[in-house]
Structure 1
């Protein structure tokens, strides 16, 4: 009996299927492929500065994770691609003109505090990239403000226009401009059309938990519709909110991280729905124009509680 009990405990403590080396590496490659259109659009819209930020963030994340694994006496496993993906996602939320040291600091914080401090892959309670972003955003608000950093552009920030000038001014921005990434935003977060293409590809391939993404987008669109119906002059359409800020990046690539999300369909859908609703509440009543990163961090903290809804007995289907 002791041997059987130990076997059960070992099975319960074993990492889930997506922790297996080859599976993680394969998933990282697919995510990188899905992000490739947004990378190309970022280069088209922001030029070489965007390439500098993305390359530096990815390189520092990979190097720091390798150093952490070495210091912890673990086998170096940066070839699974997760650190590179985290670095790219962090870069997507930074201005293209971000100074090199800011990028490096964000990458170090993301890996050390957002991932390795909790034990590594799959043990972190909140999204790795968002930890680095949050520390930078709170510590260096001016340098993280894309409007302040991108003064040499003809693009506008649609969310600031909505917040200070109303829905009519925001709706003057052509929807095609939003899809093509012609908006002041993080260098990759604003590439709405490319992110929609890449995220849909991931969902079709089964690498995105569609319950979470669907719930998230319904949360954003549903509350945006309610606000617009209540006061059309002050609130933009749901299509506007879905195509601005970090909504598409968050819905397809951030909130769907399996390390921070519930594991069953109903909790996953509610988790996404809560995250999407929080985005709109922050945009409507908060001081931040976007709100998506903070909404996802809050949803991450709720995930363990949502996973308690209608749990199945051990061994049940």
Structure 2
């Protein structure tokens, strides 16, 4: 009598393993490193424009920011290993965005402190990319502005520039003398970045080109900048109509300061922005409205930092707006 043997299926080798996950099974192949490298390409035109206008001073801010950010990321990874690896290039992208908002004459220790607040406090302590609740570069700038307001003065940083433009921040002059400040600036100067701002966040045209590059590659969704511009221009128009002597035209607010930088690079952060399309559009509108209210009724000159942070706080609430699943009404 033959002995009955139980059937045992062959164990698949590692090469023959099947990946089982919730469908659809679609692999694009984009990793974090590739995504951040594309963001770096989008930032390059504004970097080049800043170096052309300001020379080695701008290159110093960019170089120190990147070096300090990478060193702090490597140190944090060595002390507390995580899945947020230095090789994903996120710290490089964030370092450049931080440098864009720093004044041109920022001392080395201020840049180091900014990178520490950004990499260690804003990113690593929350688990890295995908985990932080606030955009790390913006959070770092907010801390620097509150801690060392004198060192974060863009007007003082550019007071020795030999330009044929008003050497004062457009929005600062607007708060001082009202809507007549528009007459002190040419639209072409504001568009080409010949204005008092951060190291590169005032390069309006070049930042716009970088943002369009990200839109074409679908690295950011159009609902975010579109909602932002609608919210900003609508609020600016209403304020201008209510008090034309105190509030400038919507176009002046659009071209001044870091407005375009906020629209394409700050509110579009993948970790802090909503996931679904309708929340994205609402998030953009909210950010635009908040920016205009802060510029119009607060003591802050630009306001992009606090508008972004307030928008980040609302992002989880907006993501609760979800599409209805058809056929599951009775479930």
Work out whether 1:119 is the aligned partner of 2:127. yes
Counterpart for residue 261 of structure 2: 249
Q: What's the TM-score once normalised by structure 2's chain length?
A: 0.86
Compute the displacement of 1:310 (Å). 3.2
Partner of 2:200: 188
Mapped to 2, the partners of 1:208 and 1:71 lie a distance apart of: 33
**Matches of 2:139 and 2:241 in 1, distance apart?**
35
Structure 1 portions without partners, runs of 5+? 1-9
* Cα offset, 1:292, TM superposition: 0.9
Compare the two structures and name the one with the higher helix fraction.
1
The runs of at least 4 aligned residues of structure 1 exceeding 4 Å deviation read none
Tell me which moved more, 275-284 or 59-68.
59-68
Aligned position for 1:308: 320
Match of 2:6 in 1: none
Secondary structure of 2:152's aligned partner: coil
Cα distance in 1, alignment partners of residues 77 and 313 from structure 2: 26
Of 98, 104, 107, 2:112 maps to: 104
Contact 1:171–1:236, Cα closer than 8 Å, also in 2: no
Match of 1:68 in 2: 76
Aligned positions, number: 300
Normalized against structure 1, the TM-score is what? 0.90
How far apart are 1:23 and its partner, in Å? 2.0
CA deviation map 1:178-225 (0-9, x unaligned): 011111110111111110111112112211121111111111111111
Q: How large is the Cα RMSD of the aligned pairs?
A: 2.0
Where does residue 147 of structure 2 map in the other structure?
139
Q: C-alpha displacement at 1:76, in angstroms?
A: 7.4
Q: 2:99 aligns with which of 82, 88, 91?
A: 91
- Residues in 2 aligned to 1:181 and 1:52: alpha-carbon distance in whole angstroms: 19
User: C-alpha displacement at 1:298, in angstroms?
Assistant: 0.4
In 1, Cα distance between the equivalents of 2:135 and 2:207? 18
Distance in 2 (CA, whole Å) between partners of 1:238 and 1:292 is 16
Q: Distance in 2 between matches of 1:79 and 1:62?
A: 10
Structure 2 residue runs of 5 or longer lacking an equivalent are: 1-19
Map 1:154-169 to 2 at 5 A: 154=163, 155-169=167-181
CA distance in 2, matches of 1:206, 1:310: 22
Find the aligned partners of 1:46 and 1:187 in 2 and give their Cα distance: 8
**Which residue in 2 is equivalent to 1:229?**
241
How far apart in 2 are the matches of 1:204 and 1:172? 36
State how far apart, in whole Å, the 2-side matches of 1:202 and 1:120 are.
22
Cα distance in structure 1, aligned partners of 2:215 and 2:247 = 30
1:79 equivalenced with 2:87 (yes/no): yes
Distance change (3 Å), C-alpha of 1:311 and 1:304: farther
Q: Do 1:37 and 1:198's aligned partners in 2 also have CA atoms closer than 8 Å?
A: yes
CA distance 1:234–1:11, shift in 2 (3 Å): farther
2:61 is matched with which residue: 33, 46, 53? Answer: 53
Largest Rg, 1 or 2: 2
Cα deviation digits, residues 83-132 of structure 1 (max 9, x gap): 00000000000011110100011001100111001011110001010111
* Cα displacement (A) at 1:75: 6.3
State the alpha-carbon separation in 1 of the partners of residues 309 and 294 from structure 2.
Answer: 13
Query: Structure 2: how far apart are the matches of 1:80 and 1:113?
Result: 18
Residue 311 of structure 1: CA displacement? 5.2
* Distance in 1 (alpha carbons) for counterparts of 2:323 and 2:108: 46
The yes-or-no answer on 1:286 pairing with 2:298 is yes
